[in-house]
Structure 1
Amino acid sequence: MQESIVYINGLFTPLKNAKVSILDRGFCYGDGLFETMRAFNGKVFRSNQHLERLFRSLPLIFMDLPMTLHEVNSVVQETLDRNNFKNAIIRLTVTRGINEPSFQIDKEVAPTLVIHARPHQPLPKAIYLKGVNISLITMQAPVLPGVNQSLKTCNYLSNILLRKISQMRGSMEGIIVDPILGVTEGATSNLFILKDGTLKTPATNNSVLEGITREVVLEIAMNHKVPVSKALLIPEDIYNADEVFITNSGIDIVPVVSVDDKPIGNKKPGILTKFLRDEFLKCIEEEL
């Protein structure tokens, strides 16, 4: 297998030579943002939406990237092209850069930008045919002070522990249930349910990320006249749902057939879930 070519701060280098300083604030504090994008047939799906979200997020954490969205988009595509991957996962990371170990933000310090592409490893087909179990985990949803929306930050420890706890419970994913906000999101996914013909998902806020796959699913549903609700959900809504599924860029739409080992519907992937995934895959073909 060929070695990946990585973009770091204007240069392309083999993965084995790709290095970031131990003084980089991303390494020291998780002080940065990232985007995970999916490429199909050599093209990045909804790259503009991913990068628009990134550029909306940067000023919220007092960070500036001295490149335009178009320039970053071009570098993302060039990274993919140089690796000659047709179907890939692309991770873009931007940190606050290198400065003396301190919490003080130095706006004169240039950020670190890294773009890494790797071949996409699809989930087993059985997961889409049979569905998965997920767990609802009661905890306070992590939030950032002074920020009124959820961001994809490099500080991912809460998500890592959430995923580990859910795996220990025999689940593919753990979904946070906040005591005040109710059902929020998973370690790496957004959640949807279907109840009485209405597709429901938690409203985006400072604990629920505006996922790109989530947005595509909502577009498809509305284009096909499926009623949509973005509002507060509680655990009982999930347990009593007719269908449940989770979404993210790497897995697209995964059916959920049980929650905390309680069956959903007839414990088979739902009709609407299958339809939305078929339409999602068509959307990719049409756009790329």
Structure 2
Amino acid sequence: MKTWIDGRVVGVAEAAVNVTDHGLLYGDGVFEGMRVAAGRVFRIERHLARLEVGARALGIALPRSPAELRAIVEETARAHGEREAYVRLVVTRGVGPLGVDPTTCERPGLFCIVGSIRLFSEEQRQRGLDLITSSHRRPNADALDMRVKSLNYLGSALAKLEARQRGADDALLLNARGHVSEATVANVFALRGDVLATPPATDGCLEGINRAAVMDIARSIGLTVVERSLGRLDLFAADEAFLTGTGAGVIAMRSLDGRTIGGGERGPVTARLTAMHRRLAESEGVEIIPPGGDQA
């Protein structure tokens, strides 16, 4: 695992963040999680564009240009040296005195981590995930807009804890109106017939980069893709359901709250979308780590 911080790439044990950084103290900052697949960073431009919008929404001026941020990501990924990896690019409000006031921080903080991430095992990927509906709700957009990928993931962490304590793989989060928002760190899709539905961002989900990629792939194979509000009933009625995300990739849901979804296993459309999404990630973008370049 490697980290870019203060202008150089070091091992994580050498990287240090000031304890008065408001990103640590108050969750005041934004980040992007990106995937290195077959030596390529998947859709880095879209990730950086979303980071810029999130920073602007929080009133944080990015400390580097998009070209410089891209170079930092690629430099850190090369130093890590593995063709399959996870990237986390983080921008914080910066170091400041105790107190929530953002105006006391003189300049934003910036660091990039590249390492391995394994949200789910290969067995889980083959059989599909068992989810529970979390008791934690996604806030309304006027309280906290989930389209901003902020450092505040407490709701997701508590929902994941609840799922694990109840013997499930992950949790489904609803919004205040009872509509499906997303899983803990992934978008949700439900397939019924040839219609593939996913919640709109206004229902409390992140506008996922992989979500958009899968929507495009689904259209290319003749599915009708719609963004509309979903309830738990829509998942129970689905022929297939799955999650998408940078860490999750495309992974099937086999049950929710002990009730089987579809055939209770990864369905043929989910399997096809999984394979096509992987091929897209392996072919799109500039190859920054050539074959045989793994250091691990």
TM range (shorter): over 0.9
Kept in 1, the 8 Å contact 2:147–2:205? The answer is yes
Encode CA deviations 1:34-77: one digit per residue, 9 max, x unaligned. 11111023221111111111011111011111311111011100
Runs of 4+ in 1 over 6 A off after TM superposition: none
TM-score for the superposition, normalised by structure 1: 0.93
Encode CA deviations 1:236-256: one digit per residue, 9 max, x unaligned. 111111111011111201111
Q: Distance in 2 between matches of 1:147 and 1:55?
A: 18
**Which stretches in structure 1 are left out of the alignment for 5+ residues?**
none
Q: Distance in 2 between matches of 1:262 and 1:99?
A: 49
Alignment CA distance shift 1:149-1:268 (3 Å):
closer
1:189 and 2:186 are equivalent in the alignment? yes
Cα distance, 1:286 vs structure 2: 2.2
Cα distance, 1:269 vs structure 2: 1.1
1:213 and 2:210 are equivalent in the alignment? yes
| Equivalent residue runs for 1:6-155 within 5 Å | 6-106=3-103, 109-121=106-118, 123-143=120-140, 145=142, 150-155=147-152
Q: Distance in 2 between matches of 1:181 and 1:53?
A: 27
Cα distance, 1:103 vs structure 2: 2.0
Kept in 1, the 8 Å contact 2:23–2:92? The answer is yes
Aligned residue-pair number: 285
Kept in 2, the 8 Å contact 1:143–1:150? The answer is no
Q: Distance in 2 between matches of 1:142 and 1:131?
A: 28
- 3-state SS of the aligned residue for 2:202? coil
Kept in 1, the 8 Å contact 2:236–2:262? The answer is no
Q: Distance in 2 between matches of 1:83 and 1:139?
A: 36
Alignment CA distance shift 1:64-1:92 (3 Å):
same
Letter in 1 for 2:205: V
Q: Distance in 2 between matches of 1:241 and 1:182?
A: 16
Q: 1:229 maps to what in 2?
A: 226
Kept in 2, the 8 Å contact 1:243–1:270? The answer is yes
- 3-state SS of the aligned residue for 1:140? strand
Matched-pair identity in %:
28
Q: Match for 1:239 among 236, 245, 259? A: 236
Letter in 2 for 1:20: V
Cα distance, 1:107 vs structure 2: 7.3
Encode CA deviations 1:144-194: one digit per residue, 9 max, x unaligned. 657655221111111100001111222211111223161101111110010
Letter in 1 for 2:221: H
Q: Distance in 2 between matches of 1:187 and 1:258?
A: 16
- 3-state SS of the aligned residue for 1:205? helix
Q: Distance in 1 between matches of 2:89 and 2:142?
A: 24
Cα distance, 1:119 vs structure 2: 2.9
- 3-state SS of the aligned residue for 1:246? strand
**Which stretches in structure 2 are left out of the alignment for 5+ residues?**
286-296
Cα distance, 1:130 vs structure 2: 1.3
Of structures 1 and 2, the one with the larger relative CO (CA 8 A, separation 6+) is: 2
Letter in 1 for 2:107: A
